[in-house]
Each structure stands twice: as C-alpha cells, then as structure tokens.
C-alpha cells in the first residue's frame, strides 16, 4: 500500500453508522408528536404504529417487542436515538409479511407464474455451459416453470439438455430431472411446471417417459393423453410436478412430413421459407425462435418420427398441452370451451399481436395459458419488459434468470408478492369475461402514491472504501419510479449529494397510478462520475400491492438481486385517493 493510499484510507476511519444527529427533521417532528419528556412510551409507540404507520392490527405487544429489539435502551420506551434505530432496522421492512394470502383455488390460468427460459444455461445463449446449477438456483429463488431443451446425445442412445445448433455444452437430462426433484419445493410448495422443447425421436421420447416417471413417481401430475377441459388449481397441485410440451404428432401428420421430404422442390421451398438463405448455423435456433417455438417440431423433423411408432407413455405424461394451431393469429387465440392449452409467443410476436388483438389476447388468457419468451437475437441472455405480457394476462413470462439487469429486477420484485410462492392471482379486471380489459385504453387514476426519499446508509460497510472514488467519499443520487402499464411508467431523480457516505436527500415524489395492481416501485442508487459511467450503488423493486404505508427501512440489492448486508434507505410511503 502506498503512503498516498494509506492516507486516503485513514481519512475514512471514522464512524459511518447513522447517528441521531443526522435524523431528518420530519423524523424528529414525528418523534416529538408521539413522545413526552424525550421518551416514546409503549402505548405511544403503539399509537404511532396504528395511526402513522397504518398498521391497523398492531398490538401493544408488538410495540413492546420493538422496544425489546432495540438494545441498550429503556425497556419502557424509546428515546429519539432508539426510535431512529428502530426505523432503520430490518424489523421495519417496506413489504407486509403476509405469507401466501391470494386465493389459490382458481385454475392455473388465473395466475402469473414465475417462469424461466432456457433454465439450464449458465451464461449466453450461444457458447455457455449447460448445467443443473442454474436450475437449482432458480428453484431456490421460487421460480416455478423450468424449461429444458431435449436432444439426442452424440451417440443417439440417450437424452441431453442443450441449446440446439449452438456451441453450448450439454448436460444429461437425468441430472436435471434429479435436481428438479431435490429442489422443487425448497422455496415454495406450489407446483413446478417443466416445459420441454422436444427434438427427440419416438424411441427417445419413450426413454424420457421412463426417466420422468421413475424420477418423480407419485408427485408427477399425469391426467392422461387427452387435453384438460380446465386447468386444476395451484392449491390442488401442491408438491406436484407438471409436464408441458407439444404432444407427439399423430401418424398421418408424420406421414405428411415424410411425403414432403420425398418431394425435393417442396422441401427446398419449405426450407428457404423457414430459415432464410443468410442465417448462420449458430443463429438458426434463435432465428427460428422468433418464428415461434411451437413450430420447431415441424422445422426440425428429420423423418425419423414417421418411421417409428409413437410413444404413448410419453404423450400420457403431458398435462399442459402446447401447440400453435394453423390459420393465423385469430386461430391461435381462439378459445375452445371444451379444452385448454398453452400457446407460446416471442416478445416481438406479442408486441405485434397486442397492437391489433389486445383484447383477444386477454380473453384467451382467461382460460388458456400464454407463454412469452425472449426474442432469438438476445444471445447475451438479456430480457425484455415483462409488463407487456402481464398486462395482457400472460401467465408465463419467461426470463433468462442469469440475465441480470433492470428487466430481471422487475421480475424479482413482482414475485416478492404472495409470500414469494411463485404464483400471483391475476387482478380481477384481467379475468372478467363480460368486460374484457383493453390494455390500450388509458384509465382514470385509481391511486396516488407519495414517496419521500429521506436518506441512505451502509455503503461504507458493503463496498471497498475506494470503490466509488479513490480520493473522496461518494457522490450519491437516487432514481425513484414506477414500472407498470405505459401510462403509469415513469422515473424521477434526486439531487446528487457530494462527498457523503450517508446521503440525506429529503425529497418527495408523487406518482399517479391508473393500474396499481400491476405497478412496481423501482428504486436505484448511483454514484455520479464526471468522467466515466456512473457507478452502481444498489437497487430494489417492490410490488405496490404489498407496499406498507409509513416510514420504512428499504434494503438494497446487488445487480444480481442479492441483498446487501448493510445498504438500506429510509423512505416514507403514503397512499391517497385521487
């Protein structure tokens, strides 16, 4: 360590925990309002919880527990320092601790489901390793839909999981299945859906059926080969594994493929239409994804399926039938009163369809399941705005869980609701068959959210002391906003505070919400850098539906969504009717 660096570090060796002298003036005023002779009694603290924090069910015992938890203070109440310490503590979180509180007895189609895309990839879509580790990590986080692309192995006698036509290294299917069984219900007891993108011959399909039944046994939900008339509920499927894929072709369809293969001109025309002439081999799979994952079996069929008997045991495993009917968008979105199914669209296909068929998509998702997946050009495993899918009722908005960034932060925030169980009951307006929600229509303001950004602390402990600036304390600013339907989405910014490890902004922001049921509060902290890109200082995303009124301690997370040990903000949330 150089002498110069040593002097820089030495100047930081003072106390950086928030002192009571740094408490915002409003905090001091609130304390004075509920205290007497410099002490907030148990009864006064109880009144503060009920009146100011809007905790209607708070009891005197709850107030006593708060006092007991704030160590080294008088057992009969809190002085200003103790009160300030409580407000900044983990026992004062921004979200209500409600556990699973949504009605879980409706059909699966009535829920948003925490969904992964290419769940086996450790990195990018072209050359990263395939592994069961990202599957395990996703399940630990509460993801309920795992996607596996299944292909014949190099010797054609077993099944691998990999991203086809790329340089991704394979992982054995059986390893993935065993890890799913072990970790499926660690974070949530509600069902796990495995979506299979199937590139197998019938003999290998039969092998998959054997693997699946032997691995999962009685926890496998297998209703038979026929389509369900209505999806069962998450409650009825607790602890169960569900398979969803496109059912194997019937013999005549396979025969038709074989006939096409025997006609060179038809094959040539078909190939050129499907692939285009200039698509590189490594990108063919991604290019194809934008055509629609449900069409892959048609594009990939090499004739083998027409030469083998179908694997009936494989077909019987499929509980959620996937498929893209022929006949264009209208046929894809047709609602069959006698059966339910899953339809897949790329993010771009959904955006295009939403312009002309927004209400029809919502109507389709009232009974059927819509899965949205990233467009094929996202080879870096980035993600898209999930609100486009959610506001159209799409249950499975599939994300690359390794694709860290703002889109994934929204996904993390959304599924903090309902106890983090991975299933969220869709708002009633998305389920009303008599008045189908139109996402393109601007609605009147339903709720106003006022956010006060008081201050932040903890960076001195969670970051190296020269992380932000080698020679001075950081210059922090915060971004606060809403992610929701287009009319609600906005971001605002505080002033930048120079040279301070404990920034005190004391700024207010107001947000008008037309669809608060789908709104998420976004918070980011950055450090201003004059010459380079601003440094990242933490983020969080919180569902408005479970945001607690009052003054709250808001912990921040890393880019990967991992909670920092010390970094948190002190904020106030107030809700008003317009």
- For residue 19, what pLDDT is reported? 73
Q: What is the pLDDT along the chain (578 residues), one digit of tens a residue?
A: 333 333 333 333 344 466 777 889 999 999 999 999 999 999 999 999 999 999 999 999 999 999 999 866 667 899 999 999 999 999 999 999 999 999 999 999 999 999 999 999 999 999 999 999 999 999 999 999 999 999 999 999 999 999 999 999 999 999 999 999 999 999 999 999 999 999 999 999 999 999 999 999 999 999 876 789 999 999 999 999 999 999 876 433 443 444 444 444 433 333 333 323 333 344 444 444 444 454 443 333 333 454 445 688 999 999 999 988 888 999 999 999 999 999 999 999 999 999 999 999 999 999 999 999 999 999 999 999 999 999 999 999 999 999 999 999 999 999 999 999 999 999 999 999 999 999 889 999 999 999 999 999 999 999 999 999 988 999 999 999 999 999 999 999 999 999 999 999 999 999 999 999 999 999 999 999 988 899 999 999 999 999 999 999 999 999 999 999 999 999 999 999 99
- For residue 137, what pLDDT is reported? 98
Phi, psi of 164 (to 5 degrees): -60, 150
Catalytic pick among 114, 163, 321, 392: 163
- For residue 470, what pLDDT is reported? 85
- For residue 243, what pLDDT is reported? 97
- Check if the beta carbon of residue 411 is closer than 8 Å to that of residue 539: no
User: In sequence order, which residues have a C-beta less than 8 Å from that of residue 111 and are 6 or more positions away?
Assistant: 234, 395, 423, 424, 425, 426
CA distances (Å), origin 294, targets 193, 299, 362, 408: 17, 10, 20, 25
Domains, the chain, ranges and CATH?
16-92 (1.10.238.10), 108-252+291-296+312-430 (3.20.20.190), 442-578 (2.60.40.150)
- For residue 228, what pLDDT is reported? 92
- For residue 326, what pLDDT is reported? 87
Kindly state the tokens that stand for 121.
Answer: 């990839």
CA distances (Å), origin 530, targets 456, 535, 565: 22, 11, 28
Helix, strand or coil, per DSSP, at residue 332:
helix
- Distance (Å, whole) CA 491 – CA 89: 27
Q: Residue 557: how many CB atoms within 10 A of its CB? A: 18
- Distance (Å, whole) CA 459 – CA 456: 9
- Check if the beta carbon of residue 289 is closer than 8 Å to that of residue 373: yes
The four Cα atoms 343, 348, 354, 360 give a dihedral, to 10 degrees, of: -10
Closest CA relative to residue 321, chosen from 341, 301, 295, 291: 341
- Distance (Å, whole) CA 87 – CA 22: 13
Catalytic pick among 117, 199, 392, 465: 117
- For residue 277, what pLDDT is reported? 32
End-to-end CA distance of the chain: 59
The yes-or-no answer on residue 412 being catalytic is: no
- For residue 290, what pLDDT is reported? 44
The yes-or-no answer on residue 102 being catalytic is: no
- Check if the beta carbon of residue 268 is closer than 8 Å to that of residue 377: no
> What pTM, to 2 d.p., does this model score?
0.89
Q: What is the DSSP code (8-state) at residue 51?
A: I
């Amino acid at each position: 360590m150089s002498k110069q660096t040593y002097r820089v570090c030495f100047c930081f060796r003072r106390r950086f925990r928030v002192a009571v002298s740094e408490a915002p003036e409003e905090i001091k005023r609130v304390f004075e309002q509920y205290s007497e002779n410099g002490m907030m009694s148990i009864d006064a603290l109880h009144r503060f919880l009920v009146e100011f924090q809007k905790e209607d069910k708070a009891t005197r015992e709850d107030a006593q527990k708060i006092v007991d938890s704030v160590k080294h203070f008088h057992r009969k109440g809190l002085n200003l320092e103790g009160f300030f310490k409580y407000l900044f503590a983990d026992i004062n979180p921004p979200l209500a601790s409600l556990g699973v509180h949504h009605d879980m007895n409706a059909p699966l189609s009535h829920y948003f489901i925490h969904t992964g895309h290419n769940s086996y990839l450790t990195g990018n879509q072209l050359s990263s390793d395939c592994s069961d580790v990202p599957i395990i990590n996703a399940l630990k986080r509460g993801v309920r839909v795992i996607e596996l692309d299944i292909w014949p192995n190099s010797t054609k006698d077993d099944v691998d999981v990999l991203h086809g036509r790329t340089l991704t290294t394979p992982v054995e299917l059986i390893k993935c299945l065993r890890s799913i069984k072990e970790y499926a219900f660690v974070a949530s007891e509600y069902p796990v859906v495995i979506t299979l993108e199937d590139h197998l011959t019938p003999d290998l399909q039969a092998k998959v059926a054997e693997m699946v039944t032997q691995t999962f046994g009685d926890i496998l939900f297998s209703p038979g080969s026929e389509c369900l008339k209505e999806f069962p509920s998450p409650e009825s499927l607790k602890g169960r594994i569900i398979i969803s894929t496109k059912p194997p072709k019937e013999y005549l369809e396979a025969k038709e493929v074989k006939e096409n293969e025997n006609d060179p001109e038809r094959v040539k025309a078909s190939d050129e239409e499907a692939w285009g002439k200039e698509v590189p081999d490594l990108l063919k799979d991604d290019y194809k994804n934008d055509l629609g994952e449900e069409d892959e079996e048609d594009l990939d069929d090499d004739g083998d399926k027409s030469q083998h008997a179908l694997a009936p045991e494989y077909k019987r495993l499929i509980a959620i039938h996937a498929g893209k009917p022929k006949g264009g968008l209208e046929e894809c979105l047709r609602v069959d009163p006698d059966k339910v199914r899953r339809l897949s669209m790329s993010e771009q296909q959904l955006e295009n369809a939403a312009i002309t068929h927004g209400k029809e998509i919502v109507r389709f998702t009232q009974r059927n399941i819509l899965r949205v997946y990233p467009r094929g050009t996202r080879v870096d495993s980035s993600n898209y705005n999930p609100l486009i899918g959610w506001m159209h009722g799409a249950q499975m908005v599939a994300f690359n869980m390794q694709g860290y960034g703002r889109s994934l932060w929204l996904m993390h925030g959304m599924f903090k609701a309902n106890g983090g169980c991975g299933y969220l009951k869709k708002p009633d307006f998305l389920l009303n068959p008599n008045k189908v929600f139109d996402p393109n229509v601007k609605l009147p303001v339903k709720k106003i959210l006022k956010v006060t950004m008081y201050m932040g602390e903890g960076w001195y402990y969670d970051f190296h002391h020269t992380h932000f600036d080698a020679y001075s304390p950081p210059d922090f600013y915060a971004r606060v906003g809403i992610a929701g339907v287009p009319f609600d989405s906005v971001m605002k910014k505080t002033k930048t505070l120079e040279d301070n490890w404990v920034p005190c902004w004391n700024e207010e922001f107001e947000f008008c919400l037309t669809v608060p049921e789908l709104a998420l509060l976004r918070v980011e902290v950055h450090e201003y850098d004059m010459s380079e890109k601003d440094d990242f200082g933490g983020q969080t995303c919180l569902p408005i539906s479970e945001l607690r009124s009052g003054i709250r301690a808001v912990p921040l997370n890393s880019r990967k969504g991992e909670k920092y040990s010390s970094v948190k903000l002190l904020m106030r949330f107030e809700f008003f009717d317009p």
